[in-house]
Amino acid sequence: MSDYRIERDSMGEMKVPASAYYAAQTQRAVENFPISGIRFPRRFIQALGLVKRSAARANMDLGLLDKKRGEAIVQTAQEVESGKLDGEFVLDIFQTGSGTSTNMNGNEVIANRASELLGAAIGSKEVHPNDHVNMSQSSNDVIPTAIHVAALLSLRDDLRPALLKLHGCFVEKARVFDHIIKSGRTHLMDATPVRLGQEFAGYASHIQHGLSRLDRAEASLSELAQGGTAVGTGVNTPKGFAAKVIDHLNAASGLQAREADDHFEAQGGKDAVVEASGLLKVIACSLMKIANDIRWLASGPRCGLGEIALPSIQPGSSIMPGKVNPVVCEAVTMVAAQVIGNDTAITIGGQGGNFELNVYMPMMAHNLLQSIELLANVSHVFVDKCLDGIVPDEDRCQELVEKNLAVCTALAPAIGYDKAAALSKRAFKEGRNIRDVAREEKVLSDEELDRQLDLRAMTEPNL
Decide if pLDDT at 5 tops 70.
yes
Over residues 67-125, the pLDDT tens digits come to 999 999 999 999 999 999 999 999 999 999 999 999 999 999 999 999 999 999 999 99
pLDDT confidence bin for 462, thresholds 50/70/90:
confident
Over residues 36-46, the pLDDT tens digits come to 999 999 999 99
Q: Which CATH superfamily is domain 20-135 in?
A: Fumarase/aspartase (N-terminal domain) (1.10.275.10)
pLDDT confidence bin for 463, thresholds 50/70/90:
confident
Beta carbons within 8 Å of 280's beta carbon, 6+ residues apart: 217, 339, 343, 368, 371, 372, 375
CATH number of 141-223+264-393: 1.20.200.10
Decide if pLDDT at 1 tops 70.
no
Decide if pLDDT at 2 tops 90.
no
pLDDT number for residue 10: 92
Q: What's the distance, CA 50 to chain centroid?
A: 21
Decide if pLDDT at 291 tops 70.
yes
- E strand or H helix at 223: strand 223-224
DSSP code of residue 120:
P
Q: Which CATH superfamily is domain 404-459 in?
A: Fumarase/aspartase (C-terminal domain) (1.10.40.30)
pLDDT number for residue 438: 96
187 is catalytic: yes
User: Which member of 317, 371, 424, 445 is catalytic?
Assistant: 317
270 near 207, Cβ under 8 Å?
no
pLDDT number for residue 234: 98
Across the chain, mean pLDDT equals: 97
Over residues 111-130, the pLDDT tens digits come to 999 999 999 999 999 999 99
pLDDT number for residue 34: 98
CA dihedral 66, 108, 80, 357 (to 10 degrees): -100
Residue ranges of the domains in the chain?
Answer: 20-135, 141-223+264-393, 404-459
pLDDT confidence bin for 241, thresholds 50/70/90:
very high
